[in-house]
Amino acid sequence: MKVTLDISKSLEDNAKMFYESAKKAKRKLEGVKKAYKKTLEKIETLKEKKDTYIPEKTKIKQIERKKDWYEKFRWFISSEGFMCIGGRDATTNDIIVKKYIEGNDLVFHTDIAGSPFFVIKSEGKEIGQATINETYEACASFSRAWKSKVTTTEVFYVKPDQVTNEGGLPKGTFMIHGKRNYGNPTIQLALGIYNNRPMCGPINAIKKNCKDTLYILQGDKKKSDVAKKIKKYYFDKYEIELELNDILSVLPPGDCELS
């Protein structure tokens, strides 16, 4: 072992110098050991996090699904469990009346122009008054009455054999014969998530079938802006990623707002 001495200093001073250097080296070594230990602990912690980490994208409940037949129409499930479908325009009104009404169903319409035909699908069961009232509400709210900002309008229902397709009538227009059963519903809607898709319809139907309820009222906000708020609401609260077009497709025909 080679040792370098300072010949200008005494043997005792040289020994003291080496002693102080040794103490400094020892302190540095202790610091290195502590830093090494902390580094090992951090590595183990990161390993554990890696085993349990779920990438952010997998946390989002992506709604990827095949659309059902009724989604090309206005639709909702009543509080009593009946499927109710309505036209969006003359073409879908035509399809509903010609293809989807059957013997014990009920057909709804208003006396104003620009109204959808709504049908309660009975499926062999007796249709209750709650479902009738809800369909009154839907038929009125999805009509032009929404844009007119009126708060109510008359809606009637008839049986399928009272609806006839007579020659010379415009597409989506039908003759109604016999007694009409009228209701005078309030124009208002609600929206919720039903079977991984947005459902907009009468308030009681949405409350019954959906976990969360947003109220849709007549207003002056663009549908696109309201749809974006709805999309953000369900993402922020439930991490559900809804398609903007799916939301737009169920909103009423005109400006609206959330309540």
**8 Å CB contact between 232 and 214:** no
Whole-number pLDDT of residue 23: 73
Distance CA 227, CA 74 (A): 16
At 36 the pLDDT is 77
pLDDT of residue 91: 96
> Do residues 116 and 131 make contact, with C-beta atoms less than 8 angstroms apart?
no
pTM: 0.75
Of 16 and 144, more confident: 144
Specify the pLDDT at position 106: 98
pLDDT value at residue 34: 76
Contact 256, 218 (CB under 8 A): yes
Structure-model confidence comparison of residues 234 and 49, the more confident one: 234
d(CA 136, CA 78): 12
Contact 193, 68 (CB under 8 A): no
Q: Please, are residues 257 and 227 in contact by the beta-carbon 8 Å criterion?
A: no
pLDDT digits (tens, 9 = 90+) for 131-187: 999 999 999 999 999 999 999 999 999 999 999 998 888 999 999 999 999 999 999
Confidence of residue 117 (pLDDT cuts 50, 70, 90): very high
- Stretch among 20-24, 83-87, 127-131, 224-228 having the lowest mean pLDDT: 20-24
pLDDT on residue 21: 76
- Tell the burial category of 156 from Cβ atoms under 10 Å away from its Cβ (0-12, 13-18, 19+): middle
Instruction: Provide the pLDDT for residue 60.
Output: 45
Tell me what percent of the residues of the chain surpass a pLDDT of 90: 70
Rounded-to-integer distance, Cα 34 and Cα 41, Å: 11
**Sequence-distant (≥ 6) Cβ neighbours of residue 136 within 8 angstroms:** 108, 155, 157, 183, 184, 185
Question: Percent of the chain at pLDDT above 70?
Answer: 91
Question: What gap in Å lies between CA 202 and CA 103, rounded to an integer?
Answer: 25
Q: What is the pLDDT of residue 46?
A: 72
pLDDT in tens, 43-100: 777 766 555 544 444 444 555 568 999 999 999 999 999 999 999 999 999 999 999 9
Q: Which of 134, 152, 126, 160 is nearest to 79 (CA)?
A: 134
